[in-house]
Every structure is written in structure tokens, then in C-alpha cells.
Chains A and B, each alone.
Chain A
Amino acid sequence: MSTLVAAKPYNQVFDGQEHYRTLLQATARPGMIGQLDDALLDVPRELNRATALIAMALFSADTSFHIAPGKAEAAEFIQQQTAATRSGPEQVDFLIVPDAMQADALRELDQARVGSLAFPDMGATVIVQVAALSPAPMADCLRLSLTGPGIESETVVFVSGAPELLFETLRSKNIEFPLGVDVFLTCDSLSAGPCAMALPRTTRVKWARV
């Protein structure tokens, strides 16, 4: 269970609305790190709070999700809280990658749905848990420079706990616009609380290790 303290119990209506607005702004402005106001919610260890809050805000009984095998507690939590159904990585609306450093997790990402030319919105949304996201450099991190819709010229953001292979996989998934997957990178920051950053399929990512 998390050590972060939150003041009020999670409210489906109002917390969901606030978090959605943060996610919408983050999606509209890739590279912006959105802070999700924390709420009292018992989240299993395998999930970070940001991922849990995104699931609470967006998942419902008509959505399917997949989380890497062995993360039974996390899967059960999401099912109980949101009534979303579990399915294979190649079928789901939401694919959760609990640890981006695991090679298996990225293989699952490679199978994610990209939609069809007639219905590109059927591409999956991928939630990738990373160690940290920051507008300033950190120790042992990747420097991402982002361009595309939502970005005035270029946005630079630093991410730690994500391998270069993750961005290589995303590049190959999103090579054929409008097909592709849309990504939320999530982390729990000690200072800022649960954070999420979006990388929609339109965003071109260049990365370098620093």
C-alpha cells in the first residue's frame, strides 16, 4: 500500500472529472506532466497511484484491459473497482505495462491493437508505469524531445525507468498514421503526487540517454 497520504476518499464523480480534465490537457499537450490530485484509495503495490486513478477515471464495464501476467492483485483491483473485463493484449482497449524495464511487457506492447484505417480510434491506449517524469534532467534517464500537434515548437522532457526499446517499439507501432497506439506514461512523484504524461500517436519522439 502506498505511503502517500491523501485527504479525502476517492469520489467517482468529482475526482473522475478532475482527473479526466488533467488527462485531456495532457493529451492535448504532449510533454506536459499532468498532476492528478490524489484521493484516498487503497492501491495494490504493483500499480502506481497515477495508473490506478486513470483506470478509475476512464475504465467501465464496457472496456477491456490487460496487465502483465503475475500481477493478479492489480488486475483484481481494477476489475473490482471499475467492472472492466480482462482480455488478451492483442484485443484490449487499455494495455497496462506495470514495469517498462521488463522485456516481456514490451513484447505485449508490440501486440497491442492499432485500429484499422476505417476506425483508427480502435487503437489501444497503453499505460506505461515509469520511475519518474520530469521537465529537468535526472540521474540515469532518457531525454525525450517531442514534436507534433499540441506542441508549439518542441518540448523536452526527461523520463527514468524506461528503456530505449520502449520508444523504439512505439515508433514502429505508430509508423503508419492514423493507425497506432496512444500512451500515458505514469509515475508517482514524492513532491507532485501521481503524474501522467501523454504521448499520442501523432507525437514524434526523439530520445537520447543522459
Chain B
Amino acid sequence: MIENLKFQDSFNYAYIDEFTKKEIRRKTLKAVCIPGYQVPYSSPEMPISRGWGTGGLHLTLSLVGPDDVLKVIDQGSDASVNACNLRLFVKEMAQCALTFDTAAATIIQSRHRVPEEILTENQILVLQVPQPEILRGVERHEAKTRMMHAEADYAKIWVTLYEAYVRNGHLRSGAGHPIMVNGRYVATPSPIPGWDVPNLSMARCLYLFGAGREKRIHCIPPFTPVKPLEFEDIRFKVEEFVGIKCQMSGQDKAFMDQIYAEDFSRYFVINDSNFLDKVRQGPRPPQKLFTNPE
């Protein structure tokens, strides 16, 4: 315990020094002003490795104050190792309150999921992003992808999408379906399932995306149109869990985890841990559900 206190005193509030925090804050404001555009930022050294959530951590630490209530989730779960460690680190450094309750949080840091429950205007969702450049798969040079964004030249990503359709028979590509933000920038929603992508559009909360290893911040402001890339005849669809109910709650209409039992049989459980707790204990929290086009 004594060592622990000593450790706290030897760092600035919220770990990052004020000079660097100001830089991250200025860049975040620019990211909000240009929705979907990736703003380069300093990405200072953190006590975890780059690519393990540093981008999200930079944003959270630049935002957090002693009055904030923080929730950290990883793949929808409050209990995963990554989430626990990041949560404790921010708590140690910023003396903020912690919660598992999605509705009570003022800042939510997440990886791979947007919470099922509708987020409000008082909440900021910080998403950790491994690869902020959605065009990296079709063009490996940063200078060229930058020009492609500058000229809104997205032909290559459309071709890739078409090829994926030809190969798989549908547009969905696992996670991180490319999105068009405010009709101008094609961006990555971070590797969230297709299920979550429609929730990015015209939301009440602010979405911030931090990519620590790649040193980029981008943003989707509230009430901003976000469209998943799709063709006129081949439309984007979210995951359909037809005839599937959650083993633990008996509920459906939520993103499900597929779990294998010891006898190799499989069952499904709602992925968002706080949402699962809530539907098991009481009324279902408000959700925005997307209906797939015919």
C-alpha cells in the first residue's frame, strides 16, 4: 500500500503531463470539427504497449476528471483482463469513480463493442482502434491513402467490397465495416460487429476513436449521419440471430456470443455483460435496433 501511494505521487494527475494532454485535447477538438478525418497526434509513451489500448487510454486520460464515472469494457465485458487493468490504472491515476452500469458512466472506454443500451448526451464513448486507416488494406503507403482521403477517391475500397461480395455472397466482413461519415470521409468504426455500426449514426453521445500505435484520433460527433458502405442492390445487413435466445436470460435482440460447452454443443449468451445483468434483473434498457433491408 505504501509503495502504491508513492507511485501515485510521482506522476502528474491522470498520468500524462499537462503539456502533452493539451496537445491531445487540441487534436481531439480538431477531430470533432472534421468528422471521420484522422488527426495525427503525439501518442505519448504509456505503461502498456502500443496497440494494447494506448489510444483509448490517451483519450480517456485527457478527458477524465475527479468527478467522472468511468466504465471500461473489452468485447462487451467489464470483467476481461484488459478492461480490468485499464480501469484500475485510470482509477489510480485520476481518482475518478468506477462503474459497471452503462447508464451511470460519463466516460466509457471500449474495445470491439458499442454498448447495447442507448448512450445519452452526457456520455462519451472512447473506442480503441488497432488500425484507423480503412484504406490500408488496399493501399499500403500512408502518403497515398492520405491523398485518397484528400481527393475523396474511394474507388479501391468499393472494388474490395464488391470482391468480398463475390467471394462471400454478402457485404459483411467480420468486424469494422467501412463507414461514410457525414457524406465525406470513409473511416473505420474500429473492429465492432456490423450489429453496432447503425448505432454510430445520429447518436446522442460523442464517439472518439484513438489509435495509439498508429498515432491517430478520429471522431463521430453526435447527430452525424454515418452510412455503412453498401451498394444500391446489395445492402449492408447486421448479424441475424434467427431463432436464437440467450441461454442465461432467455432474451433475444442483442448481439450474442457463441459459447462451446465441454461436450462441443454450443449455446448463445448476450455479449454485453451489463446489458445481460440488467435484462436478468429487471426491465430491458432502451436499445436502438436496426432492421435489415429485404
Contacts and interface: CB of A to CB of B under 8 A. Distances in A.
Nearest to A117: B150
B223 interface: yes
Nearest to A178: B34
Contacts of A13: 12-13, 18
B32 A24 contact: yes
A7 to B, nearest CB: 17
User: Which one of B14, B25, B151, B184 has the greatest number of beta carbons of chain A within 10 Å?
Assistant: B25
B29 A24 contact: yes
B109 to A, nearest CB: 16
A57 B19 CA distance: 10
Given A13-B18, A177-B184, A27 B29 contact: yes
A63 interface: yes
A21 interface: yes
Contacts of A200: 32-33
A202 interface: yes
B5 interface: no
A32 B61 CA distance: 24
A131 B147 CA distance: 42
A121 B12 contact: no
A118 B146 contact: yes
B223 A201 contact: no
A202 B182 contact: yes
Contact of A27 (B23, B32, B146): B32
Binding site of B, secondary structure by majority: helix, strand, loop or mixed? mixed
Contact of A152 (B34, B65, B182, B223): B223
B99 interface: no
B39 interface: yes
A20 B25 contact: yes
Contacts of A149: 35, 182, 221-225
B275 interface: no
A59 B147 contact: no
A60 interface: yes
B195 to A, nearest CB: 23
Interface in A75-106: 93
B121 A29 contact: yes
B22 interface: yes
B221 A28 contact: yes
Interface in B24-72: 25-35, 37, 39-40, 62-66
Contact of B222 (A29, A59, A93): A29
B206 interface: yes
B25 A150 contact: no
B35 to A, nearest CB: 5
Nearest to A27: B32
Interface string A1-40: 0000000000011101110110111011100000000000
A139 interface: no
24 contacts: A13-B12, A14-B65, A16-B21, A16-B22, A17-B14, A17-B64, A18-B65, A58-B29, A60-B19, A60-B23, A117-B150, A117-B151, A118-B150, A121-B31, A121-B34, A149-B35, A149-B221, A149-B225, A150-B32, A150-B222, A150-B224, A152-B202, A182-B33, A201-B33
Q: Which 9 A-B pairs have the closest CB atoms?
A: A117-B150, A200-B33, A149-B224, A121-B30, A182-B33, A150-B221, A17-B65, A121-B39, A118-B150
Interface of B: 12-14, 18-19, 21-23, 25-35, 37, 39-40, 62-66, 121, 124, 146-147, 149-151, 182, 184-185, 202, 206, 221-225
